[in-house]
Amino acid sequence: MFCRSPGLLLASVLVLMVPVPSSAQAPGGRPGGPQGAAPRTVAVVLGKAVKKPMPVRFDTIGSVQTVASVTLRPRVESQITEIAFKDGAAVKKDDVLVRLDARGIEAQIRQAEANLIRSQAQLEQAQRDVRRFEQLLANESGSRVNYDNARTQVTAIGAQIKSEEAALDNLRVSLSHYTIRAPISGRVGVAGLKEGNIAKTGDGSPPLAVINQIAPIYVSFSVPQRFLADLRAALSDPTAKVEVVPQGGGKAVEGRIVVIDNQVDAASGTIGVRAEVANAEEVLWPGQLCNVRVVFRTEPEAVAVPREAVQTGQRGTFVFVVTENVARVRPVTVARSVDGLAVIADGLKGDETVVVDGQLLVTDGVRVEQRGSGGGGGGGGAPGGPGAAGEPRKGAS
């Protein structure tokens, strides 16, 4: 057992409370070397803020719809004598698609033509009678009654001829219904009936075929209502366009906005839009899903920086702007991101050098150098303190 005196114990406590100088503590309480050491330099990757044309765009999913779709149905009931198209073939307007048995209507036309010829002959006879009775009446050798009756006969036969001509025209129109032609150009589907079947009229009967217009074609999609003003301006903006890529792969095609729905969907807050695509190579197909990129307009001199240069802190977004190898915090307002670039609405002019990578080691006022340019003094330095104005560092927006 050893006993220490109270005085000896107090002296030990006072010795432990005396601060010990450290060579790693720089004046001001900041990490660094001894007094007189060179300022810390951080190796970073630098980039440029540039002015360049940048699009204002929106990406969404759309579906392909035909501009016109026609269901072929017969207007008369008859037997099919010929299917003049192949299933799925491309057809042009007025191409013959189906022929029906027209022998009955052709016989009626021949009968009507014969009746018309007979009436025309009767008219010629009546006109001769009128001329003869007119001469007799002039020589006071004929009756006025016979002359008037002849003129009446001419009028009656003339009316009969007009009626027979109208009936013949009607029969010829009916004859055209026995040859079914394509009303539009497009792709025809599978024939609903084959040769030998009886084609019947009415919506409940099987259709002969369906023709979908392929070129041009519509792409329908929805856009948030906040873009309504941009959509309306895009109708007349020559730089506006719609880029469409079929899902599952395929060639991208371009089109233009042609239709904006007349109301906003209150449930979803979106508005329906249709773009028209020429589709000359038939890249798009009716009913197909596709990726749609709507380019509302292109800003000719937008300020853009690499997206990684933009940092987010408690006070908003900012970048480190490097001037004479010194990094300074610059608050910025980001309008949007396009193809790996952040479009800056406010805070940069377009000729600044910014830090793209290595921001975790950068603080406001620190010296920096391009990584790989030699020196490398910042590579092994301790991480800096909090971000600019005490902001904690976060990832790029």
Q: For residue 285, give its domain range.
A: 57-67+214-300
Is 395 part of any domain? no
Is 360 part of any domain? yes
Which neighbouring-strand residues pair with 272?
Answer: 222
Alpha-carbon span 381 to 354, nearest angstrom: 21
Query: 308 and 281 in one domain?
Result: no
Cβ(368)–Cβ(335) under 8 Å?
no
Residue found by looking up tokens 């610059």 in the block? 330
3-state secondary structure labels for all residues of 222-258: EEEHHHHHHHHHHCCCCCCEEEEEECCCCCCEEEEEE
Instruction: Name the DSSP letter for residue 393.
Output: P
Is 292 part of any domain? yes
Query: 332 and 282 in one domain?
Result: no
Query: 286 and 234 in one domain?
Result: yes
Query: 182 and 90 in one domain?
Result: yes
pTM higher than 0.85 for the full model?
Answer: no
Query: 294 and 322 in one domain?
Result: no
* CA-based nearest residue to 91, from 201, 11, 210, 239: 210
Domain end position, chosen among 300, 328, 345: 300
**What does the pLDDT read at residue 38?**
58
**What does the pLDDT read at residue 35?**
53
Q: Give the contacts of 262 (CB within 8 A, at least 6 positions apart).
A: none
Is 29 part of any domain? no
Alpha-carbon span 176 to 98, nearest angstrom: 11
**What's the CATH number where 124 sits?**
1.10.287
**What's the CATH number where 206 sits?**
2.40.50.100
Query: 155 and 228 in one domain?
Result: no
Task: Kindly report the number of other CB atoms within 10 A of residue 187's CB atom.
Answer: 18
**What's the CATH number where 281 sits?**
2.40.30.170
Query: 86 and 134 in one domain?
Result: no
**What does the pLDDT read at residue 279?**
94
Domain end position, chosen among 267, 300, 333: 300
Query: 234 and 294 in one domain?
Result: yes
Cβ(173)–Cβ(73) under 8 Å?
no
How many domains does the chain contain in total? 4
Written as six digits, the tokens of 319 are 């970048």
Query: 338 and 258 in one domain?
Result: no
Query: 263 and 148 in one domain?
Result: no
Low-confidence ranges of the chain (pLDDT < 70): 1-38, 372-397
Query: 80 and 187 in one domain?
Result: yes
* CA-based nearest residue to 292, from 61, 63, 64, 66: 61
